[in-house]
């Protein structure tokens, strides 16, 4: 945002001033106006341009502010969602989706269409399938960001509507496909209110291979990022979001296409670090590329809002043509 403002606002101001100087200079030299007239008009025009530029800056500030307000409204909506009063006990053992129907609009087509899925906790689970098959929607309904129309979602046999919202949120951390980075320091963006030691933050940063963002900065973790500071690439935003979710050490971690914007080597390295760190805990990885999730305990293949096949990589390779085709296509690509 700040770059756009500099490019459009400042350059427009300077270009107009230069045109004014050249044209005014020409009129003065050719005796069509006096120097006095020129100075008065030039000063007036400069003030006018400065005010116009301030208005432009204010309008971009407002737009920028509204993005954060919108995000906070989503969190507020979540807080106000009907909360149950059962607190989850750790360790969580099972997550179940039973005949779940979900759609975004009351008249629209079902995005999750009789979804059935059992997840044994403590495992690495991968959700794969073509874009639009409903993978992210599963993450949204499990975290109660969206509400299902019918069917049940149970955690250790407790319907999620009966679970206390704070308890649910404390037990599930998600790095979403489209992470929101606040115009704050790297550290604030990772911690988001959690209380963790400096050492823990540093270790998390190493695990998500984001040292590149920090090493070059003199202010280290205090460096501002987001629209007012360093503009982050898609991959950097994702890595920051993984750090934010990972540091919480939640019972359940969901990574929604979080490493898809990274190069293969970095993606593999981060996945390996997460695998080692989260051993024995539940990690649900939504993946586009299959190569990094082949070692999952269970791979669920989604199609049109349903799980159409599940098993280990070897099982799916031998029993499920569509999975084999996708793997082969990836190898060729
Ligand atoms: N906020 C939304 N409003 C309306 N439709 C949506 C929304 N988010 C996703 N969809 C639609 O729901 C379907 C499933 O989307 P999604 O769960 O994001 O799939 P995936 O993560 O597998 O790509 C798609 O057809 C998508 O267009
Ligand atoms: Mg998605």
Task: Specify the CATH number for the domain of residue 300.
Answer: 3.40.50.300
Hey, which of 97, 102, 104 would you mutate to test ligand 1's pocket, going by the most ligand atoms within 8 Å of its Cβ?
Answer: 104
- Quick: pLDDT tens for 196-252: 999 999 999 999 998 877 765 577 888 888 766 677 888 999 999 999 999 999 999
Do 70 and 126 lie in a common domain?
no
Distances (CA, A) of 180 to 33, 163, 226, 318: 55, 26, 9, 40
- pLDDT at residue 8, rounded to an integer: 60
Residues 243 and 140 in one domain: yes
The answer to the question of residue 315 being in a domain is yes
> Which portions of the chain are predicted below pLDDT 70?
1-10, 74-81, 215-217, 227-229, 331-333
Q: Give the global pTM.
A: 0.80
Looking at the fold, whether 59 and 175 belong to one and the same domain comes out as: no
Instruction: Report the pLDDT value the prediction gives residue 114, as an integer from 0 to 100.
Output: 96
In-domain check, residue 99? no
Ligand 2 centroid to Cα of residue 165, in Å, is: 23
Number of domains in the chain: 2
Domain boundary among 80, 112, 134: 80
Question: Do 172 and 306 have their domain in common?
Answer: yes
Residue 234 and residue 129 share a domain: yes
Residue 28 is predicted with a pLDDT of: 85
Q: Kindly give the distance from the C-alpha atom of residue 104 to the centroid of ligand 1, in angstroms, as a whole number.
A: 8
Residue 112 forms part of a structural domain: no
Q: What is the reported pLDDT for 1?
A: 45
Q: Is there a single domain that holds both residue 7 and residue 140?
A: no
213 and 282 part of one domain: yes
**Is residue 150 situated within a structural domain?**
no
Q: Which ligand is nearest to the CA of 105?
A: 1
Within this chain, do residues 200 and 277 fall inside the same structural domain, yes or no?
yes
Task: Tell me if 113 is assigned to some domain.
Answer: no
**Strand pairing category for 124-128 and 298-303:** parallel
Q: What is the pLDDT of residue 332?
A: 60
* Residue 36 and residue 140 in one domain: no
pLDDT of res. 252? 97
- Of 80, 102, 130, the one marking the end of a domain is 80
Nearby residues of 68 by Cβ (< 8 Å), 6 or more positions away: 182, 183
Nearest ligand, CA of residue 302? 1
> Do residues 42 and 141 both lie within one domain?
no
Here the contacts of 85-88 (C-beta below 8 Å, separation 24 or greater) are: 85/162, 85/164, 86/158, 86/162, 86/163, 86/164, 86/167, 87/163, 87/164, 87/167, 88/155, 88/156, 88/158, 88/163, 88/164, 88/167, 88/168, 88/171, 88/251
Domain match, 140 and 44 both:
no
In the structure, ligand 2 is a single-atom ion and the residues with CB under 5 Å from it are 136, 177
Ligand 1 center–CA 136 separation, angstroms: 7
Residue 87 covered by a domain: no
C-alpha 210 – ligand 1 centre gap (Å): 29
Let me know if residue 40 belongs to a domain. Answer: yes
**What ligand is nearest to the CA atom of residue 178?**
2
pLDDT score at 82: 76
Instruction: Tell me, yes or no, whether 127 lies in a domain.
Output: yes
129 and 75 inside one domain = no
- Residue 10 structural domain: 2-80
């Amino acid at each position: 945002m700040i770059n756009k403002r500099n490019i459009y606002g400042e350059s427009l101001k300077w270009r107009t001033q230069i045109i004014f100087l050249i044209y005014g200079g020409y009129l003065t030299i050719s005796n069509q106006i006096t120097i006095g007239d020129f100075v008065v008009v030039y000063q007036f025009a400069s003030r006018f341009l400065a005010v116009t530029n301030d208005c432009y800056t204010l309008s971009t500030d407002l737009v920028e502010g509204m993005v954060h307000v919108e995000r906070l409204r989503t969190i507020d909506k979540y807080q106000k969602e009907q909360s149950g009063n059962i607190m989850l006990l750790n360790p969580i053992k099972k997550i179940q989706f039973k005949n779940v129907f979900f759609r975004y609009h009351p008249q629209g087509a079902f995005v999750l269409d009789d979804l059935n899925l059992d997840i044994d906790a403590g495992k690495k689970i991968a959700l794969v399938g073509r874009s639009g098959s409903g993978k992210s929607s599963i993450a949204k309904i499990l975290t109660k960001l969206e509400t299902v129309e019918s069917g049940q979602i149970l955690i250790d046999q407790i319907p999620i509507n009966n679970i206390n919202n704070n308890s649910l949120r404390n037990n599930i951390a998600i790095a979403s496909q489209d992470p929101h980075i606040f115009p704050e320091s790297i550290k604030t963006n990772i911690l988001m209110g959690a209380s963790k030691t400096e050492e823990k933050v540093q270790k998390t940063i190493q695990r998500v291979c984001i040292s590149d963002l920090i090493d070059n900065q003199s202010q280290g973790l205090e460096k501002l990022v987001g629209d007012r500071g360093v503009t982050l690439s898609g991959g950097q935003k994702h890595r920051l979001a993984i750090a934010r979710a990972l540091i919480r050490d939640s019972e359940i971690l969901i990574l929604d296409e979080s490493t898809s914007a990274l190069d293969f080597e970095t993606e593999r390295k981060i996945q390996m670090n997460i695998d080692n760190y989260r051993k024995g805990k539940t990690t649900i990885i939504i993946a586009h590329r299959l190569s990094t999730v082949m070692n999952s305990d269970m791979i669920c293949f989604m199609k049109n809002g349903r799980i159409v096949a599940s098993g280990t990589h070897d099982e799916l390779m031998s029993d499920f043509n569509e999975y084999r085709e996708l793997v082969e296509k990836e190898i060729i690509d």
